[in-house]
A and B are shown apart, each in its own frame.
Chain A
Amino acid sequence: MKKVIIVEDYCIACYNCEVACVASHSRSEDPIKAYKREGLRGRTNAVVEVASPLAFSSMCRHCKHPWCMDACISGAIQRLDNGIVYLDEERCVGCWGCVVGCPYGAAHPNLDGERKHAFKCDLCIKRLDAGLNPACVEACPNKALLYDETIEVREEVRT
């Protein structure tokens, strides 16, 4: 399956992926409104980690065997037929099972707000359906994020 491939050598910590992620998961689809009015600050599924000069943006790996799903007590997390590991925020009860279960730290707790719930990357499922790339990939000016088959699959093709 195609995933977001992270090329840490190319990341320049510009945070464009975070902004694009928040905007595309907001109601307004407008970054300023999303941050300022919809309270989506700190609600980005792609997170840029920086320890200068090293930087990279990391997000859910859509594992074939998702540990987050095993841990999910509400059934909010399910692996869809297309391989996307989807977290239904409405179903989520904020037990943080996925947070302690995900080995990549890609399921995040939303502790503020009216309702506690977890959130994670959905690979921009709506954009994919429309034939677009995930928003973070599209926004990266440096090709530090690619939407492609994993190297594993690419190697299998070669051999």
Chain B
Amino acid sequence: MSKSDYVIVGSNVAAVGAIDGIRRHDKKSSILTISYESLGSYSKAMLADYIKGSNSQWLEYRGKDYFKKMGVDCLFGRRVTAIKADKSVLTTDNGEEVSYKKLLLGVGGVPFKPAIKGAEGKELVFTFTDLFDAEKIREALPRFDSAVVIGAGFTGTEIAYTLNKLNKKVTVVELGDRVLVKALDPKSSEIAESLMKGEGIEFYLNDTVEEIAGSSEITGVSLKSGKFVPCQAVITAIGVIPNGALIKDTQIKFDRGLDVDDYMCTSVPNVYGAGDVVKATDITDGQKRSLPLWPLAFQQGLVAGINMAGVKYPYAGGLPMNSLKFLKVPILSAGITTPPDASYETISVSDPKGTFYRSLILKEGRLKGFVTIGEVDGAGVLTGLIRSKADISGIKTRLLNKKKIGLMQMPREWRNRIFTRRDETDYHD
């Protein structure tokens, strides 16, 4: 049996955050990271580039020598198959056992796959969440000219856009009444949809795929509305759910997401979790939910690592941040973008051409979220205002007036503190 002080299952962004966190306070102890993927840390958010033809090294999130530089042992291409939390031992798919003092589960999410009639046994049905998926889609590219994408969220619209750029005819089917419902408000959804339509992507909203037609080769999909859309490939991109496969048969608490406390510790004292696998606190309403977003996975990993190294450091909660990275017109948002009830105030501005739009959501004078389209430089200032929970009633219209957002709009005292003093973004661990 091999032994390591810290064992990390997963080697992506949550794992990298944790390694950074551990090494801030513990330079000596041994760290082992295990991932069934061969690339080590890579960017899932860049998978579209891979489908478009870039080589896999381009996806590497930290340089090849990152793990070595951090003094981390790697077991890549190996899947963990079981955890015995009572004995602090893991088993891998070649039957070897690894014991740990502290364990981090950074196993990410798995694609949510609805049961669709006719999906089984067809080759050109894909998901789009890891490098294996991207590889399969890339290899199959010469074999289809048209595709239906199920889901108009971030990954759905991204793969739709990518395939469209590769000259495929793409139709997106979405159960909800608008695109990118999690990240945008109705008006910005409409703008995003029309931008994508302008590129030649078709949308069926308020609809869903009931059956994939054809034998081994797909002929099309029939929709709930009765329509039939001819196509040769289908990609389900409805989202990811926390990956509970490893955790199900253990005493580690998992309920539609790994339960972690403020210190990213699970119900078992020496087992921690971070990233897409956990239910984390959403800063906007204090509720715990699965927030599968890159920056949050990094931050949670970092905080988990700091705590694993023995420094008690609470997680401040995550703020959802989104950027629609593929469109020519940039679209950014953070926090609550669609007000849940009448206690929220919405102010917005747009130009008639539809290339500039900004909306701010406030509650009791404090910024809770925003969307900005077209003009995005300085948008992070708004994100900072959400985090700082400062009363902005006095300056809110100024944040709409200016096209570029800047520190100019901030109270002088707040600004000068940043210019000269405290580094307020610091994790004071």
Contacts and interface: CB of A to CB of B under 8 A. Distances in A.
B153 interface: no
Nearest to B62: A75
A103 interface: yes
A80 interface: no
A100 B43 contact: no
B140 to A, nearest CB: 24
Contact of A105 (B295, B298, B406): B406
Interface stretch (A23-31, A66-74, A123-131): A66-74
A113 B302 CA distance: 35
B46 interface: yes
B274 to A, nearest CB: 12
B381 A100 contact: no
Contact of B377 (A67, A108, A152): A108
Interface residues of A, number: 45
Interface string B390-429: 0000000000000001111000100110111111111100
Given A49-B407, A97-B321, A152-B421, A105 B330 contact: no
Interface residues of B, number: 49
B92 interface: no
B325 A104 contact: no
A132 B380 CA distance: 30
Given A51-B408, A151-B421, A101 B295 contact: yes
Interface in A28-64: 47, 49-51, 54, 56, 58, 61, 63-64
Contacts of B325: 93-97
Interface of B: 17, 43, 45-46, 49, 60-63, 294-295, 298-299, 302, 321-323, 325, 330, 332-334, 376-381, 383-384, 387-388, 405-408, 412, 415-416, 418-427
Given A96-B325, A105-B405, 4 more contacts: A96-B323, A105-B379, A108-B377, A152-B421
Q: Which 6 A-B pairs have the closest CB atoms?
A: A103-B384, A105-B378, A102-B380, A95-B325, A6-B419, A73-B45
19 contacts: A6-B419, A7-B419, A8-B419, A63-B426, A64-B426, A64-B427, A65-B423, A66-B425, A70-B295, A71-B295, A71-B298, A100-B322, A100-B383, A101-B295, A101-B383, A103-B383, A104-B418, A107-B380, A152-B423
